[in-house]
Chains A and B, each alone.
Chain A
Amino acid sequence: MRISERFDSALLVLGCPEVPVQTTAVLYIAARLKREGIKVLIAGTPSARMLLKYADLDRHYIDEVMDLDMTIDGIVESGDNYPLCFVFIHNDAGISYAATMNSIMQSKVHPVIFGSSAEELSTQINFDCEKVVAVAAHNPKPLIKVIDEVIKWDV
């Protein structure tokens, strides 16, 4: 089944953007999702959102950018749901956010784990999911390669 037939929207959850590959990986996944006709929504910290706001000024890839806390509040309090969710992780807090998104939504959650401790962090994901894991900090290529191996793009 085509990914676009299974999902009409995707939520990308971003933590602190201190590892450079995060913004590139977000835009890459957003671009691939847009090709599939899937609406892309971003929830992140203020600095993560600012990086994307100016990197995608004309909104070629991103449909909506939202505050992380407000997004979680909408899911818990109002029942907002996003059928597909990518959580970007490079520290322990990211693991907590991934577990939370998996717990509060009825969604397919993909943890995208990168940075120098990616492999160690990936062992802390204890829910059933397809993980994207690559030791990558400045060069995005290893992470992009694993994204393409795990996510079965149609287009």
Chain B
Amino acid sequence: MGCLDKLPYEVILRNSSFSECRDYLKKNFSEIYTVSPGYKIFDVHIIGVPPVTIALDGNMVIFPFTKPCHGTFLVKVESKEEAFRLRKTSK
């Protein structure tokens, strides 16, 4: 796992609600996984309303990242290791 801030990431949605991010993932990606709140990805624990949705697109990991003052961001980060771990451990 690496530090999210040090990895190149793309922001897909910003200042959104958690449910908007979940709806976007379900509408735009076909490989969807659900995890529990607190699931650690890179160096962050995912904050959210269960079920928390994460999408994979090849080695791209697309997940919600919540900041207390700014709402939820949907971010896309390339990580072969995290994609493998998610496919192996989640459904």
Contact = CB atoms under 8 A, between A and B. Distances in A.
Indicate whether A and B interact.
Answer: yes
Interface stretch (A66-74, A107-115, A129-137, A139-147): A66-74
Interface residues of A, dominant DSSP? helix
Contacts of B49: 95-96, 99, 124, 126
B38 A75 contact: yes
A45 interface: yes
B66 interface: yes
B67 interface: yes
Interface in B54-91: 66-72
Contacts, number: 63
Interface residues of B, dominant DSSP? loop
Interface residues of B, number: 19
A73 B47 CA distance: 11
Nearest to B17: A92
A91 to B, nearest CB: 7
Contact of B47 (A16, A77, A97, A126): A97
Interface residues of A, number: 24
Interface centre among B36, B68, B69 (most CB of A within 10 A): B68
A94 B67 CA distance: 9
Given A15-B69, A96-B72, A104-B36, 20 more contacts: A16-B68, A16-B69, A69-B45, A76-B40, A76-B45, A92-B72, A93-B47, A93-B66, A93-B67, A93-B71, A93-B72, A96-B37, A96-B66, A97-B47, A97-B68, A99-B49, A100-B37, A100-B38, A100-B45, A126-B49
